[in-house]
Chain A
Amino acid sequence: MARSPVIVLDQVTRVYPMPAEDVVALDRVTLTIHEGDFVAIMGPSGCGKTTLLNQIGILDVPTSGDLFLAGRNTRTMDDRELTSLRLNTIGYLFQKFHLIRLLSAYENVEYPYILKHRKPDTTGRVSALLSQVGIDPSLSTHTPAELSGGQQQRVAIARALINDPRILLCDEPTGNLDSTTGTQIMELLDSLNRQGRTIIVVTHDPAVAAHARRKIVLKDGRVVP
């Protein structure tokens, strides 16, 4: 059965205006990512990997070209719609975990749930996800500062999954972890992908990229064929 395209980039260009000379971070990138894909975006530093991830994550808007996400052209959407689309469709994993330091592990996971449902979780989904990613219930009241890097990234994965997003965007998800923990996190991503979730990982680590079924290599803002 043909899988439907979930992310479509059509001639996407991103130019950063600079006093001396404009920097072209993405140059007419055209690509399609299908539902259930596991894609690794690779390339040397400064090649535009993170810029591309920000475009796909609709944190940024293209200078020219179109980006279709779940069938909708993001160019025609305002900030409120884009934010709502991020909340419902995309889960993020960052290299530095980026948990909210003022909230406990449980609250960090529950936060996007409350944003979406306008009420606290009474279904037990937060606890179930935390245990699914390997966080002991006794740690759920701990603040990020009281957790190890691996534990923080697991909580971040639970947070990314809480609203059941179709796409999981990961920016160097193992960059701040030791190799054993990194492997465990990647195995977790593998299992999520097997469940049908689209995963896009930005990495320069071949071991991480090895988990992906498709690799996109960028150079000077262009996709290397």
Chain B
Amino acid sequence: MTGDIIFRLSVRSVRVHLLRSVLAALGIVIGVIAIATMGMLGANMTLSATAQLSSMGNILVVRPHMEGGGGFGPGGGGGSSTSEEAVLTELQFKDLERAAGKYGLVYHLHSTSDTITSGSESRRASIYGMDPEDIQTVLEVETGDYPRSTNDIVVGPTLAERLGLSIGGRVKIGKEETGQHTVRVVGILKQRGLSMDINSDQAVLMADKLYTSLYGGEGEYDQATVVLENIEDATAAKEAIENQMNKREEVVSVQDSSRMLETITSTLGTLTAFVMAIAGISLLVAAVSIFNVMMMSVTERIGEIGVLRSIGTQKPEVRRMFVYEAAILGVVGAVIGAILSLAIGYLVVLAMTGGTDYFFAPASLLYIPMAMVVGIIICIVSGVYPAWQASNLDPIEALRAE
């Protein structure tokens, strides 16, 4: 109950210096908003990416083994994936089909990158060569049709938009100096987003016959993909492929999309932590402001501290009085910050990710209480030294100051 009167004194001290207190708490409000908003933004990005990638989690990508690994995503980065050693042979593909065929569709893929010209516009894009039947199974056409003749191609929606391509239009593949081949656009694919097997949004897709006539490599594939019927089979299928093909030496490397998901969430996590750390700087500035206000409060109340001590107030009670004062500023700032974080966070998430589907998910809202706790702790820590200083004042010196 002693705490009650000590707490009352702290509340009144905050109220007496209302403007000063509000300004100090404002720092905490800003800090809490910054941390909570950044945290929620990161959480929403992660949740949204996870949801998108999970829907594509039924994919195993098999690539020829290369020393030193090799990154995610199909070739097309620089055309080097067509190098002679890094290919899957027809025989290896048959092996793969034997091992993984029972788990779902297995298809092969040629890939490189080249210059695409339409009118005066030129752009580098990924080129994929696939069995025409596989194109129909794996990819969806938004407008137009699938390739029927060896001169037909379908293009991704982003590439079509950037080059201004339309159905029936003609484009040239290859550089002018090394020879160009004119093909006809028969279809524009549906937006597919980021994927492990084919990034079709900015690519050209053609029948494998056309591909090999342009780039060679018949019976030599850059990549094979297993589209699992059941996502739970991912580990079993991966093991079956490795047992079949990598028994004696490492012939292929198998990547399943769950690892990609892990990488992306971990990258987003790191990014979120980094941005939150930057936001945390605002809380540090707030801490300095709280510290300053508390030191002023101690200095102004030296005489009062002397009186309190002389009439029997123990040192820990004096300390508590100032820690309470800092905590009040922290709690008020954190509560206001939390309320504003809901509104500002919602707007920021909407602006940055284009949707708020995951805003009210626990993993997203969690950042509000987290930021509040950080804000309050920072306030209390800022009040500890002034409180300690107040409690250690010599009562006689303090009385003299009154």
Contact = CB atoms under 8 A, between A and B. Distances in A.
A161 B9 CA distance: 22
Interface stretch (B181-189, B227-235, B253-261, B300-308): B300-308
Contact of B310 (A59, A103, A163): A59
A89 B395 CA distance: 17
Given A59-B396, A60-B396, A111-B5, A83 B314 contact: yes
A118 B399 CA distance: 25
A48 to B, nearest CB: 13
Contacts of B306: 98
Given A87-B311, A115-B312, A116-B312, A102 B2 contact: no
Interface residues of B, number: 26
A98 B16 contact: no
Interface in A38-89: 54, 57, 59-60, 79-80, 83-84, 86-88
17 contacts: A57-B310, A59-B309, A59-B396, A80-B314, A83-B313, A83-B315, A87-B312, A98-B306, A98-B310, A99-B307, A100-B304, A103-B9, A107-B8, A115-B313, A116-B312, A120-B4, A159-B311
Task: Assign chain A's interface to a size class.
Answer: 20 to 34
B312 A86 contact: yes
B1 A86 contact: no
Contacts of B317: 115
B2 A100 contact: no
A52 to B, nearest CB: 12
B402 interface: yes
Contacts of A94: 307, 399
A111 B313 CA distance: 9
Interface in A94-110: 94, 96, 98-103, 107, 110
B16 A102 contact: yes
Most-contacted residue by chain B among A107, A110, A111, A114 (CB, 10 A)? A111
B4 A114 contact: yes
Instruction: For the complex of A and B, list the 3 residue pairs with the smallest distance between their C-beta atoms, beginning with the closest.
Output: A87-B312, A102-B12, A98-B307
Given A54-B396, A98-B402, A100-B307, A83 B312 contact: yes
B310 A86 contact: yes
Interface string B351-395: 000000000000000000000000000000000000000000001
A99 B317 CA distance: 18
A3 interface: no
A173 interface: no
B223 to A, nearest CB: 75
A221 interface: no
Contacts of A86: 310-312
A77 B308 CA distance: 20
Nearest to A89: B312
Contacts of B265: none
Given A100-B307, A100-B308, A114-B4, 13 more contacts: A54-B396, A59-B310, A59-B399, A98-B310, A101-B304, A115-B2, A115-B311, A115-B314, A118-B1, A119-B1, A120-B4, A159-B311, A163-B312
A150 interface: no
B118 interface: no
A168 to B, nearest CB: 12
B9 A84 contact: no
Contacts of B315: 79-80, 83
B13 interface: yes
A183 to B, nearest CB: 26
